[in-house]
Amino acid sequence: MSKDKTKGGLGKGLEVLFGNTQSGETAENITELNPQADQQILFIETGSIKTNPYQPRKDFDQSELNDLAESIRQKGIIQAITVRKLDDGNYELISGERRLRAAKLAKLEKIPSFVLDISAKEDLLEIALIENIQRANLNAIEVAEGYQRLITECSLKQEEISEKVGKSRSAVANTLRLLSLPQEIKISIQKAEITEGHARAILALDNEVDQMLFWKKIVSENLTVRKAEEFTKKAKHDKKPKREKKIYEITDQNKAAIKFLEEKFMEHFGTRVKLHPTSPTTGNIIIEYYTSEDLERIIDLCKK
């Protein structure tokens, strides 16, 4: 997307989304706004508005929608939704899906809507994602996925995203890192079982096995973010290489075999396992556990 293009329709579109309405406006006030020449505001039939294909929010809380619908019945639409007109005469939602859903629940036949003159997919995607990221109460994973789409589908760099959403570059980068977490942990964030602060503490651990074990510990013991950060700091400190007494010479071939066996043990027990040879035929096996539940699970595996 060229810079000139961004300064044109896209800039005006973002101005409508963020600058023209105040939180105290009623539906009647909205009709008195005076948009730009390429920005119309109309009362559009709710049935003729198609949903936003670029909506980053995956789940809509039904009780919250019911509350919003009741508010709409009593006070009307506080802020207009934003749409674009399609070739078939219908409209496509850009922003305001919660308002549209709630308006339908409230059985409104028409809803006040800004109509933006936007046709390019890149502009539509960028406006929709940025508006939803800035306004909606998204969880951290939904925000991270929105950032990633801006990178992959809009060719934006992290610096450009940070400017558009009003976050520091490091904040954007840290949020994007959440996408590298195991799927179970990402689902846990979406369910609000753990916070983004917990997730950042988990990311401080190097491998997926450690991350999963630590996540289970956070959930089972209801650790605070501070306690989680203290745990990872201690884990990093304990992991620093210590000078061990040399028992006997281990060849490169033996090292490869030991590493292979350690990985097999870790796959079986689901935790960190270390082999410490004391001779060519003897040694110690250290199986780590972090909670009483982990220990019971490992004992059960040993019995099988």
pLDDT in tens, 158-198: 999 888 888 899 999 999 999 999 999 999 999 999 999 99
| Geometric angle at alpha carbon 141, from 195 and 19, rounded to 5° | 100
The β-bridge partners of 273 are: 287
pTM more than 0.75: no
Which amino acid is present at 247? I
- 73 exposure class (CB count in 10 Å sphere: 0-12, 13-18, 19+): middle
- 214 exposure class (CB count in 10 Å sphere: 0-12, 13-18, 19+): buried
**d(C-alpha 287, C-alpha 270), whole Å:** 10
How confident is the model at residue 32, as a pLDDT?
A: 32
- Show the tokens assigned to 72: 């709409």
- In angstroms, the Cα distances linking 76 to 26, 110, 179, 199 are 7, 11, 39, 39
- In angstroms, the Cα distances linking 230 to 204, 208, 256 are 11, 19, 33
181-239, which class in CATH? Answer: mainly alpha
**CATH 1.10.10.2830 residue spans of the chain:** 181-239
| Geometric angle at alpha carbon 127, from 101 and 10, rounded to 5° | 135
The β-bridge partners of 39 are: 116
Which amino acid is present at 68? L
Cα distance between the two ends of the chain: 60
Residue ranges of the chain whose pLDDT lies below 70? 1-40, 54-58, 121-122, 132, 134-137, 239-249
| Pair type for strands 110-116 and 273-277 | unpaired
Helix (H) or strand (E) segment spanning residue 276: strand 273-277
How confident is the model at residue 24, as a pLDDT?
A: 36
**d(C-alpha 191, C-alpha 198), whole Å:** 13
How confident is the model at residue 228, as a pLDDT?
A: 93
How confident is the model at residue 106, as a pLDDT?
A: 92
How confident is the model at residue 97, as a pLDDT?
A: 84
Q: Which entry of 64, 97, 126, 145 is annotated as an active-site residue? A: 97
Phi, psi angle pair for 191, to nearest 5°: -85, 0
Cβ atoms of 90 and 48 closer than 8 Å: yes
Name the fold adopted by 3-138. Answer: 3.90.1530
**d(C-alpha 199, C-alpha 211), whole Å:** 9
**DSSP state letter for 47:** G
Determine whether 221 is an active site residue.
Answer: no
**CATH 3.90.1530.30 residue spans of the chain:** 3-138
Q: Give the torsion sign (CA, 273, 277, 281, 285).
A: negative
Per DSSP, the three-state class of 166 is: coil
